[in-house]
């Protein structure tokens, strides 16, 4: 059986990829064809989530065994889970997290199930638009989103001027000073 899977992004209008992949392939096989089709390096802790009809996350399928340590949580690893273990209905939804630091994702759904057809390798059957920028392309040393507001000259003068600091606001007992050298 072959699964026809459509993938879109909420970051880039007009971006679309469609894949044809054998239902016996692993989630790692799907992960690799997704990354390759977008021109992304294979260097992140990507994961899939099986979603319900409202795109609420369910089971997670991770790239590596993260060793949660809890016996109550089922652990699924991409290289040992076949697509047909979770994807057996037309319309099923998946979320693929390609940037785990900023929770950036692609949204996938099973468009069709072609019986009597099997593929040796996954293939991109349709490609439209440019993929969202990858982490390295964003030019961010630390991919976790943060905002730095620079101090203007006026702010700096106020912070460090004699009128901007009040000696009565300083409480030396609030600081612990150690005499122990490091």
| Residue 151 domain flag | no
Summarize pLDDT for 26-37 with one digit per residue, the tens. 999 999 999 999
Instruction: Give me the residues of the chain with pLDDT under 70, please.
Output: 66-73, 136-182
At 114 the three-state DSSP class reads strand
Question: Which residue range forms the structural domain that includes residue 82?
Answer: 2-138
| Residue 33 domain flag | yes
Chain Cα centroid distance, residue 148: 23
Bridge partners of 50, per DSSP, are 94
Q: Are strands 47-51 and 57-62 parallel, antiparallel or unpaired?
A: antiparallel
What region, left, alpha or beta, does residue 155 occupy, with left being phi > 0 and alpha being psi -120 to 50 degrees? alpha
* DSSP H or E run through 65: none
Bridge partners of 57, per DSSP, are 51
Q: Read off the CATH number of the domain in which 35 is found.
A: 3.10.290.30
Count up the domains in the chain and report the number.
1
CA-closest candidate to residue 78, choices 35, 138, 126: 35
| Residue 181 domain flag | no
User: Cα–Cα distance between 46 and 146 in angstroms, integer?
Assistant: 21
User: Cα–Cα distance between 127 and 124 in angstroms, integer?
Assistant: 7
Q: Model-level pTM?
A: 0.72
Summarize pLDDT for 136-164 with one digit per residue, the tens. 555 544 443 333 344 444 444 544 445 55
User: Cα–Cα distance between 19 and 110 in angstroms, integer?
Assistant: 10
């Amino acid at each position: 059986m072959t699964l026809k899977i459509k993938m879109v992004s909420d970051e880039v209008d007009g971006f679309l990829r469609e894949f044809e992949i054998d239902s016996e392939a692993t989630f790692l096989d799907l992960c690799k064809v997704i990354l390759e089709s977008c021109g992304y390096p294979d260097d992140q802790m990507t994961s899939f989530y099986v979603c319900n009809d409202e795109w609420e996350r369910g089971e997670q399928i991770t790239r590596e065994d993260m060793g949660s340590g809890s016996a109550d949580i089922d652990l699924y690893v991409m290289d040992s889970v076949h697509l047909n273990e979770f994807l057996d209905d037309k319309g099923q939804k998946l979320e693929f997290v390609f940037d785990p630091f900023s929770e950036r994702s692609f949204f996938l759904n099973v468009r069709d199930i072609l019986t009597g057809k099997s593929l040796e390798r996954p293939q991109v059957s349709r490609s439209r638009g440019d993929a969202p920028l990858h982490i390295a392309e964003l030019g961010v040393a630390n991919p976790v989103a943060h905002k730095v507001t620079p101090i203007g000259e006026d702010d700096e003068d106020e912070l460090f001027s004699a009128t901007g600091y009040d000696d009565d606001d300083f409480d030396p007992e609030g600081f612990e000073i150690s005499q122990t050298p490091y």
